[in-house]
Structure 1
């Protein structure tokens, strides 16, 4: 669990660390990095601008690239208990009829499990041993020097400042702190023009099934987690502006068939009082590393959810980053962060490109193109669609060697 902690207390705890590390953002990437550092005996300072984690939930699908971090943290049992195995994947056409159903287990079994988990549950798993965090805390300025990075904070305790050997910026796709690194103020951004609502419904008998309906101007995806099904219902933002009830009514009017899961998900949207609206966009920042500062997770490369791999890549990246810093001293940090970026960015951007390609296939408005897509989907294998991701799993991430800086 997260342990809300005054910033001054965290700063005192980290003052004598052999490597003083600041992590900005207590999402999946930042929390994974913080906990891996703690597992190696450090006391990283973890801050987040939010006031609480009460609304930390949406659904995630995690591929086996997370296993190294999960195992190094010693939370395998907690992870399995809090998640569910996803084995099957079903695609419906724009009328609600089944186009195909495939076994993900057959594709991924050589590498490990594909598991569904809520974001809140994953954060609970990652913080099983406890995670001090300073809430409502932001970085006001960051000066990256040759001997240390000097950071000024705003927090509930008032202004504060400290020096660090390494600063990890992991405060999300709309990062406030990214502006302190070169090129971080306006990273390249791809926006689909789509958005939609996240809702939850009770678990059904198909606890291993992910189901998606690829419509003509709408999309409905539902994914199992432990004890529930999380769903996303969306379309072009101009169309969703009518609100969830009217938008769902427009979807229903085009259906000639439906599965029990689809019907329950659409009912859940119309019943929800104030469902969370998720704008589908992504970000690709360059460079990641600059001096003693590095971008991690969505702050470096924010994913569209179409390939179900963004959170997995964030955790893998955190594992590589903390591994490359594990034996570093202050003078090695710049070289370590450069080595990390050279190793990990091609993997992340390959997975991100796959998500973008799938988005171009899924998010179509034209009925004619939807018919063409249906024909292609009957011929395409899921293995071919996930080919780039399978290649990543076949060649797992590694921690690169770092050439130490000699004075």
Structure 2
């Protein structure tokens, strides 16, 4: 469980550590890192600008890449208990017709399992053994010196000064901490103009391990398995979505000539959302460098992902595990070298995965009936081995 902890209390605990670490951002990457360091005997200070972890957000499909980080943090069993096996993937054409079904984990089994989980469930799994976090807390300033990184942290109206051996900035795609570390021209972005709403619906035995996607002429629908339910993503160009979920779902429904009840239920889940559904903007960022002195970027702050390849969260967790091992193996004097080594090993892998996500986004996010028709024809002949080739390359060269 998450343990809301006053910032002063965390600062007292960390002073006795052989390596004083500050983690800014308690999302997937920051929390994975903090829990791995805690399992290794440290007391990293974990701060989060949000008021709590109540937002469940969206669903995730996690590759076996996450297994080493979960084992390091001692959270593998908790993760498995809150997730489901993602076994089958069904691709539908622009009118809802079934094009192909893949046993998606058949080529991944030697690496581990491909699993579906709600983001909120993943966060709870990572916090299973207790996770101290100071909410409504932010990094205000960062000044590096040879002997330490000096920071000012704000919690409510209080500003607290502290010194750390390492500062990890894991505060997301729009990282404020990154702005303290890099110049604006060191961060680039990619935005395809699309976005999508997330909703949830009950699952059943027939779909408990199955994901479905429709690649339409000007829309995308994805339905993915998580524990006890299914996550739904309905996307399109943001200009086409301004009338709201109900109107856009009706627009899609008019194009589906062969949709089964499962896909129609998914559209209804978005159209009938009582509260404003979570909106996922399909944009990312890339930082030209990650490590500067005693400070380093992690997760979306280093390289954000559009979700088309379903690997962003997995790469963030893998990177957190790699960084945790580097930090646990060094002392205060070796931090800068350890952070450079982490960047040298992880940045090429992460950027290769990011390139794959961008390429899939350019293929998916098009408003062309002609292209959609061609896609439908080609998809019937694409093998699972070809689909998973970039993922298997990453798994074959994984750090552990």
Specify if TM > 0.5. Answer: yes
User: Residue 344 in 1 paired to residue 341 in 2?
Assistant: no
Cα pair 2:195 2:281 within 8 Å, conserved: yes
Q: Which residue of structure 1 aligns with residue 115 of structure 2? A: 115
**SS where residue 113 of structure 2 aligns?**
coil
Q: Distance in 2 between matches of 1:126 and 1:184?
A: 33
Q: Distance in 2 between matches of 1:25 and 1:385?
A: 33
Q: Distance in 2 between matches of 1:145 and 1:192?
A: 40
Q: Distance in 1 between matches of 2:17 and 2:100?
A: 54
Cα offsets for 1:85-143 (capped at 9, x unmatched) = 00111111110101111111211111110000011111111111111100001111111
Q: Which residue of structure 2 aligns with residue 149 of structure 1? A: 149
User: Residue 191 in 1 paired to residue 191 in 2?
Assistant: yes
User: Residue 361 in 1 paired to residue 363 in 2?
Assistant: yes
Q: Which residue of structure 2 aligns with residue 377 of structure 1? A: 379
TM-score by length of 1: 0.96
Residues 254 and 222 of structure 1: CA distance in aligned 2, closer, same or farther (over 3 Å): same
User: Residue 201 in 1 paired to residue 201 in 2?
Assistant: yes
Q: Which residue of structure 2 aligns with residue 394 of structure 1? A: 396
User: Residue 240 in 1 paired to residue 241 in 2?
Assistant: yes
The within-5 A match list for 1:284-299 is 284-299=286-301
Q: CA deviation at 1:79?
A: 1.4
Q: CA deviation at 1:362?
A: 1.4
Q: Which residue of structure 1 aligns with residue 263 of structure 2? A: 262
Q: Which residue of structure 1 aligns with residue 2 of structure 2? A: 2
Cα pair 1:187 1:285 within 8 Å, conserved: yes
Cα offsets for 1:293-342 (capped at 9, x unmatched) = 00000110101111111111111000000101112111101100000000
**SS where residue 106 of structure 2 aligns?**
helix
Q: CA deviation at 1:154?
A: 1.3
Q: Distance in 2 between matches of 1:397 and 1:51?
A: 35
Q: CA deviation at 1:259?
A: 2.2
Q: Distance in 1 between matches of 2:313 and 2:63?
A: 9
TM-score by length of 2: 0.97
Cα offsets for 1:28-72 (capped at 9, x unmatched) = 000000000000100000001001111133101111011111122
Q: Distance in 1 between matches of 2:381 and 2:144?
A: 53
**SS where residue 105 of structure 1 aligns?**
coil
Q: Distance in 1 between matches of 2:30 and 2:157?
A: 22
Q: Which residue of structure 2 aligns with residue 403 of structure 1? A: none
Q: Which residue of structure 1 aligns with residue 172 of structure 2? A: 172
Q: Distance in 2 between matches of 1:251 and 1:242?
A: 13
Cα offsets for 1:231-277 (capped at 9, x unmatched) = 11010000011100000111011111112221111111111021111
Unaligned runs of at least 5 residues, structure 1: 399-407
Q: Distance in 1 between matches of 2:111 and 2:263?
A: 30
**SS where residue 318 of structure 2 aligns?**
helix
Q: Distance in 2 between matches of 1:393 and 1:183?
A: 33
Q: Distance in 2 between matches of 1:56 and 1:289?
A: 30
Cα pair 1:207 1:224 within 8 Å, conserved: yes
Cα pair 1:218 1:234 within 8 Å, conserved: yes
Q: CA deviation at 1:27?
A: 0.4
The within-5 A match list for 1:277-356 is 277-356=279-358
**SS where residue 176 of structure 2 aligns?**
coil
Q: Distance in 1 between matches of 2:204 and 2:385?
A: 26
Q: Distance in 1 between matches of 2:77 and 2:333?
A: 38
Cα pair 2:39 2:74 within 8 Å, conserved: no
**SS where residue 264 of structure 2 aligns?**
helix
Unaligned runs of at least 5 residues, structure 2: none
User: Alignment length, in residue pairs?
Assistant: 398
The alignment's C-alpha RMSD in Å is 1.1
Q: Distance in 2 between matches of 1:297 and 1:184?
A: 18
